[in-house]
Amino acid sequence: MGQTIGRWLRGAALLPVALTAGVLAYAQEDDLATRLAALEESVNGSASAYVDNSYLFLIGGIIVMLMAAGFCMLEAGLVRSKNAAMQSTKNIALYSIAGLMFWLVGYNVAYPSATMLEGLVGVPSLDAFFWSGGDLSVQSDAGYAPASDWFFQMVFVATAASIVSGTVAERVKLWPFLIFTAVLTALIYPIVASWEWGGGYLDTVWGFSDFAGSTLVHSTGGWAALVGAIVIGPRAGKYFGKQVHPMPGSNIPLAALGTFILWFGWFGFNGASQLAAGTAADINAVAQIFANTNMAAVGGVIAAMITTSIMYKGKIDATMVFNGAIGGLVSITAEPLMPTMGQSVLIGGVGGILVVLSVPLLDKLKIDDVVGAIPAHLVCGIWGTMIVAATNTDASYMGQFVGVALTGVFVVAASAVVWLLLKYTIGVRCSLEDEEMGLDKAEIGLEAYPEFSRG
CA atoms within 13 A on the CB side of 126: 0
CB of 98 to its own copies, least distance (A): 9
Contact assessment for residue 222 and residue 163, using Cβ atoms and an 8 Å cutoff: yes
User: Please, is 142 exposed, middle or buried when counting C-beta atoms within 10 Å of its C-beta (0-12, 13-18, 19+)?
Assistant: middle
Contact assessment for residue 76 and residue 371, using Cβ atoms and an 8 Å cutoff: no
CB of 423 to its own copies, least distance (A): 19
Nearer to its own copies, 77 or 122 (CB): 77
Nearer to its own copies, 117 or 138 (CB): 138
CB of 40 to its own copies, least distance (A): 6
User: What distances in angstroms separate CA 64 from CA 57, 95, 348, 381, one per listed residue?
Assistant: 10, 12, 20, 18
**What end-to-end distance do the CA atoms of the chain give, in Å?**
108
Please calculate the CA angle 346-348-354 and round it to the nearest 5 degrees. Answer: 105
Nearer to its own copies, 209 or 219 (CB): 209
CB of 328 to its own copies, least distance (A): 9
CB of 85 to its own copies, least distance (A): 4
Nearer to its own copies, 74 or 414 (CB): 74
CB of 409 to its own copies, least distance (A): 32
Closest by CA to 382, choosing from 267, 273, 220, is 220
Contact assessment for residue 268 and residue 64, using Cβ atoms and an 8 Å cutoff: yes
Nearer to its own copies, 125 or 340 (CB): 340
Nearer to its own copies, 202 or 275 (CB): 275
Nearer to its own copies, 288 or 407 (CB): 288
CB of 67 to its own copies, least distance (A): 10
DSSP category for residue 354: H
CA atoms within 13 A on the CB side of 392: 24
Contact assessment for residue 203 and residue 195, using Cβ atoms and an 8 Å cutoff: yes
User: What distances in angstroms separate CA 316 from CA 96, 309, 320, one per listed residue?
Assistant: 36, 5, 8
Nearer to its own copies, 92 or 413 (CB): 92
CB of 113 to its own copies, least distance (A): 19
Nearer to its own copies, 49 or 187 (CB): 49
CB of 284 to its own copies, least distance (A): 4
- The beta strand positions in 127-233, using DSSP E, are none
Residue 293, C-beta contacts closer than 8 angstroms, at least 6 positions apart: 266, 267, 270, 271, 329, 332, 336, 344
In degrees rounded to 5, what are phi and psi of residue 287?
A: -65, -45
| Strand (E) or helix (H) holding 180 | helix 174-183
